[in-house]
Chains A and B, each alone.
Chain A
Amino acid sequence: MRRDWMPFLTDFKNAGLVGVSGFVLSIILVPIAASGHEDTGRHKLTTAGSNTLPTLASAPERASQGIRKEKQSDQGKPERKSRRLIKKPTPPSQPAGPASTLPGTDQTATAPSTSSSKDIPGREKSSMAGSPSGTSVPSMSGVTTVAPTVPIPAASVNAGAAPGSATSPMAGIGISSGSTPKASGRSFQNLIQQAPGLSQLLTGLPPGPVIPPEPIAPLPPPLASPQPGLPAPPVNWFAYHVLNRLTYGGTPNQLNLVASLTTAAEAQNWATAFMKEQLELDPTRPWPTNLHSTSPLPAPIPIQDIALDIMLSQDKVDWRADESDSSILSPNFSELQDHDLIRKMHSRRQLKEKMVYFWDNHFNTNYRTHSKGQYELQENEAFRARAFGTFLDLILASGKSAAMMIYLNTDVNVKENPNENYAREVLELHTLGVNDQGTPNGYTQFDIVEAAKAFTGWDNTPDVRGGFRFVSSRHSPGSKLLLGQSIPFNGSGPSEGEQVLTLAARHPSTARHLAKKLCEYFVSDAPSPALVNEIASVFADSNGDIKKILIAIFTSSDFMNVANYRGQVKTPLEYLVGLYRNLGVWSSRDPFRTRLVGVGQSIYEFAPPTGFKEKSIEWLNTNVLFHEASMAYETTINGFGSTIRYGSPSSGGSIRLWMDELKLTTEEQILGFLTNLAVDRMVTATEYQLYLSTLRAGLGGNAFDIKNASREDALDRTMATILTNPRYLYQ
């Protein structure tokens, strides 16, 4: 059941780094195991050790693994994926495929490539430019990726270690309170700092401007019994709010960090820097002010995320080749979902992932219409490369993607009998939209018919690579008339359809439609008309520059209004990924993928072109509440799912050992920590007593003792209770 990252280690050896990686691992395992509240990147590394290298595991770690042994055997089924334990070198890079024919790119152009794998077109302008290009970027043209050459998780490679860090614009970002890591003398980050150049030695990368990981935060203070009545938002609410909205949920370390911000001003500063980092902006500079224009923003400063890159590349080792083309890796449906969930759960580029989901959902497609994992993956990658780009670029990528052309029948839209499916949904859902009464916002059936004609001739390449081509013999003759504008006939290329998308993307109704949808996503289910107007005007004035639109949203007074704090309801996907992130889950995610299907948000196979609804009311029903409570129980209660482990890997999934490791020994300390993971330490007097009595259940008059194994169940149930608090449904 557990996810094994053995191949991850194997690759280090393949990369000729066995000595170094062994050295690194043996150093890192113990201190990290002891500190237990590192950021995600470190969790991954220690996971690798604790899961697959028992000889490297520290003694307490081995002991803790025994604690939940019965959990592992509950299912009575063989260890899943034991094949992962077999040494399996990462597939060597394949000969380059045909020139990339990616959505939205000139089909005759060859994508610039800086590595032996085909990079995704547009990637050079994407935020990932600064990340190690040799690692794990899913190859859009289906070429397998090269082995990771970077054995160190992102968390460990701090830009601060790079020469010139003193003058780096990044210096001093992150937390400003100078928190001292508990295990500072032994942390890997510290090790790197003590050995300048080590990261470069290991990575072979030139030191570039990147957003480094956040520092290790101190633990939150104990939680005292609150006063009766409605709990007030914490003074640092805005920092929690930013984590709630811009990410799928804070990691334990991020949440600890936020808890350490003791004034509103500190929280504001931290949150502002965090938002800028997530937008790939220099956090030391003021917000850009050219939002109502087409002038460019500063070049993006990428967020380093090597650990994720490695994890994703490892996730692909089981993927099989497409049945009709052995050079193309074709994930099956569960692999496709898993891959995306890993990314959402572990990526440091959280806002980007939230936007990728937004676009993937806005331009919904359904795997079941083509059954090619690579098509969905390719489209997902195209959205990632353009997540902060322009709307026109996004819709062109969508419209020309194999997944969309099959899903909405563009590939069978021919001059003899145009198929209106894509044309209709582009206008109704992707661009102009309909109003609350269902009336089209400025288009008619005539426009649909004309647009369908303009798209005739668009098609997939005959192979299974998902390339775009234009078939002139299928193209409808004559000029077309769309939204009152004439589109001249062009029988030799896809320009008519592109013009349809351009006219639709530039239409004022589209600016409004997208502005409203984005405000609903990030701010409130009922955004104020003033906010929507403002965002729509940024959309229009910037020609749909998504990053400018996001800046405008995040700096709006509505977003910063405490009335919107925890004012939305999570979608099941947000609940699931958030649960993983909040608790630092490091084991299998598979049972949860099944829950996601049961709850009705099975990504990549939603049939209606609307995509999943985002508004709170759409996800408030008994089925969703049941499955979400079940997810919480599966994470925490032995026997109810029983395969999920969280906390520090070195405590083996035992929350009691985790608390013990962190030296959280009193009830107040434990509740201070646990409520911070889930509900921003907001607790009513009733809840406090409930948590306390659950924590102390069965103790009678005896004192609480974290060393007492009887507290195992009590802590499980306390965590389960905190997670099933209705307040945890809100974001």
Chain B
Amino acid sequence: MPMKPRLKRDLPEPLPFDRDEKEPSCRCCGESMEILSRRMFLRRAAGSAAAATFLSLFPGAFFPRETALAATNAGKTLVVVFQRGGNDGLNTVVPYQDAEYYVMRPRATNGGIGILPPGSGDGAGLDLPGTGFAIHPSIQPLLNLYANGTLAVVTRAGFAGSTQSHFTDQDTIERGVFSMQDGWLNRYLQAVPAAGSPNIRAAGFGNDLADSLRGQVLVPAVNNLRSLSFARLNSAKAPLEANLRAMYAQDPALTTTNPFRSLVHQLGPDMMNRVAAIEAIGPAAPQNGALYPNTGFGTQMRDLAHVIRSGLGLEVATVDIGGWDTHEDQGGGGTFAQNQGGRLADFSGGIRAFYDDLGPLMSNVLLMTCTEFGRTVRQNASNGTDHAKATVWFLLGGGVKGGLYHGTAGWPASLIPANLDEGRYIAPTVEFRDIFSDVLTSHFGATASELAAVLPGHVHKPVGLFG
């Protein structure tokens, strides 16, 4: 499976007049800061004609897996952010006390991509006190979260048998088990019943549905909340939607021989239901002064927070952020930042705004970041890095216990080639399926049999990410 397309711009449609290049700028979003609590929302939504129509037209439309029993997944949400392209963990969380690091990656002040030690001025890393590590200055928004104990940093995440191909490694991670057809999150939705009656139990934020969410359970892809509406049909809306439903309501076997007919006839009404639900919650209104980057990623995190707060029952969501394949001009920190620094700023800014926006709700929301592999310890001649193995994953919120997780083998004493896998790579010590298993059992309360259904054949060796 491929990496997902990178959203270069936030393009609410229609912009028919715009012929000029629009590059992302980092001014904060211009959305109204109207405060709308969850309770107020529910009251408002219940009183709105749209919601009433929606609920009366499609009672139970969304609830194929409804169950009377409240499981421990009640009210919980998991957000999986995938950094497509292989983020360089070594410059994200930097072992600045290892002299060998600066041999492999000369300091940015010397023309390399090495992140300078904390306190050394422009381009210096931000210290994680007492650890020997510093974070890239572009992820400064995450520093407080580390300090307050809500951010867990897995420094050597990965898996044995990485092919170092973007596509197969992403497939492996997203399916959990490469040979399985469905994504691991979809298998979760199959294996564990929803608590209550969610309108939108799972959603992929982006143009395209992440592979982790693909499978038997239909999951909507949500690109941009504002654009996802048929409201502008005005007087034609009701008759056209009725026609559309009538066509999709036909027995697919009596309309076509196309092999995808059953799926299409499920997806059509599903699309209409999701659109109706999203029309009913209105536009995002960030709270607590949250400032999202005005980028595709920032907008999707903003919309995601809005959906979570709006009480549609969102339990699993994915967001993609691309641009991590830094074979060249990766850059350092501060004014030395190039390709990676810009992506990290967007990434950390969006995550921090999401955290701020949800405020106390974050106790039930767990955010996990994944990326398919890290990058070569030694920088290449193009001031970049090539595909490698272990890398940094973050977990934030929920019941996560903050801190650095190097795995049982610890962090290499030095990055000399002898300590590296094939002399080039940091070897993985924390198997990604164990991270998934920690999340499934601790955050969602999955039972052993449910865990086995999601990750068949995997023996869970707890990482201990939860307190």
Contact = CB atoms under 8 A, between A and B. Distances in A.
Interface of A: 1, 75, 77-78, 80, 229-231, 318, 332-335, 368, 409, 412-414, 416-417, 419-421, 424, 428, 434, 437-438, 445, 525, 563, 566-569, 588, 590-591, 594-595, 597-600, 602, 605-608, 610, 613, 616-618, 620-627, 629-630, 633-634, 637-641, 643, 684, 686-687, 690, 694, 697, 713, 716-717, 720-721, 724-727, 729-730
B234 A639 contact: yes
Interface in B251-301: 252-261, 263-265, 267-268, 270-271, 274-275
A687 B14 CA distance: 31
Given A332-B21, A730-B260, 19 more contacts: A231-B255, A332-B19, A412-B384, A428-B167, A590-B17, A607-B322, A608-B166, A621-B204, A621-B219, A622-B220, A624-B221, A643-B16, A687-B255, A690-B246, A713-B236, A720-B236, A724-B244, A726-B248, A730-B258
Interface string B197-238: 000000010111100000000111111100110101110100
B34 interface: no
7 contacts: A417-B382, A445-B164, A569-B260, A607-B85, A616-B259, A626-B228, A720-B236
A639 B233 contact: yes
A255 B219 CA distance: 36
> 10 tightest A-B contacts by CB?
A600-B207, A438-B168, A417-B381, A412-B382, A623-B221, A622-B220, A610-B2, A622-B271, A608-B3, A607-B6
Interface string B52-88: 0000000000000000000000000000000011000
B168 A633 contact: no
B382 A566 contact: no
A623 B207 contact: yes
A720 B234 CA distance: 14
A458 to B, nearest CB: 14
B315 interface: no
A563 B165 contact: no
B21 A620 contact: no
The interface centre, meaning the residue of A607, A633, A637 with most chain B CB atoms within 10 A of its CB, is: A607
B267 A621 contact: yes
A631 B241 CA distance: 15
B250 interface: yes
Contact of A605 (B8, B227, B243): B8
A424 to B, nearest CB: 7
Most buried by B among A414, A437, A623, A630: A623
Contacts of B264: 569, 620, 726, 729
A621 B256 contact: no
Interface of B: 2-6, 8-9, 11, 13-21, 84-85, 163-168, 171-172, 178-179, 204, 206-209, 218-224, 227-228, 230, 232-234, 236, 239-240, 243-244, 246-248, 250, 252-261, 263-265, 267-268, 270-271, 274-275, 322-323, 325, 327-328, 380-382, 384, 386-387
A569 B258 contact: yes
A622 B221 contact: yes
A617 B261 CA distance: 11
Contacts of B222: 622-623
Contacts of B4: 608
Nearest to B3: A608
A346 to B, nearest CB: 19
B254 A230 contact: yes
Contact of B21 (A333, A438, A617): A333
A589 to B, nearest CB: 9
Contact of B247 (A434, A438, A687): A687
A15 B196 CA distance: 73
A607 B230 contact: no
Nearest to B11: A597
Contacts of A624: 221
A724 B247 contact: yes
Contact of B243 (A416, A437, A627, A724): A724
Given A230-B257, A622-B274, A633 B247 contact: no
A608 B271 contact: no
Nearest to B19: A334
B141 to A, nearest CB: 24
Nearest to A679: B256
Q: Which of A78, A80, A568, A608 has the most C-beta atoms of chain B within 10 angstroms of its own C-beta?
A: A608
Contact of A633 (B21, B240, B271, B274): B240
Nearest to A524: B259
A231 B9 CA distance: 44
Given A419-B327, A594-B13, A639-B234, A230 B255 contact: yes
Nearest to B235: A713
B323 A607 contact: yes
Nearest to A233: B257
Nearest to B273: A622
A409 B386 CA distance: 11
A637 B258 CA distance: 28
B430 to A, nearest CB: 22
A613 B223 CA distance: 18
A568 to B, nearest CB: 8
Contacts of A684: 250, 254-255
B16 A591 contact: yes
Contacts of B232: 639-641
Contact of A414 (B17, B228, B230, B381): B381
B18 A334 contact: yes
B327 A591 contact: no
A716 B382 contact: no
Nearest to A693: B243
Nearest to A417: B381
A334 B22 CA distance: 10
A626 B271 contact: yes
Contacts of A630: 230
B240 A80 contact: no
Nearest to B329: A412
B285 to A, nearest CB: 22
Contacts of A627: 223
Contacts of A75: 16-17
Contacts of B3: 607-608, 610
Given A637-B236, A720-B236, A622 B259 contact: no
A476 B282 CA distance: 59
Contacts of B164: 445
Nearest to B378: A417
A595 B15 CA distance: 10
B265 A726 contact: yes
Among B4, B207, B248, chain A packs the most CB atoms within 10 A around the CB of: B207
A464 to B, nearest CB: 17
A596 to B, nearest CB: 10
A408 to B, nearest CB: 8
A726 B207 contact: no
A730 B90 CA distance: 47
B348 to A, nearest CB: 20
Given A229-B254, A600-B208, A626 B259 contact: no
A639 B6 CA distance: 31
B244 A629 contact: yes
Contact of A80 (B16, B227, B257): B16
A608 B259 CA distance: 28
A625 B268 contact: yes
Nearest to A77: B17
A413 B325 CA distance: 15
Contacts of A332: 19-21
Given A414-B381, A419-B382, A591-B16, A725 B247 contact: yes
A385 to B, nearest CB: 28
B236 A717 contact: yes
Contacts of A231: 255
Contacts of A621: 204, 208-209, 219-221, 267
Contacts of A726: 247-248, 252, 255-256, 261, 264-265, 268
A590 B207 contact: no
B6, B85, B234, B240, most chain A CB atoms within 10 A: B240
Contact of A721 (B16, B224, B247, B322): B247
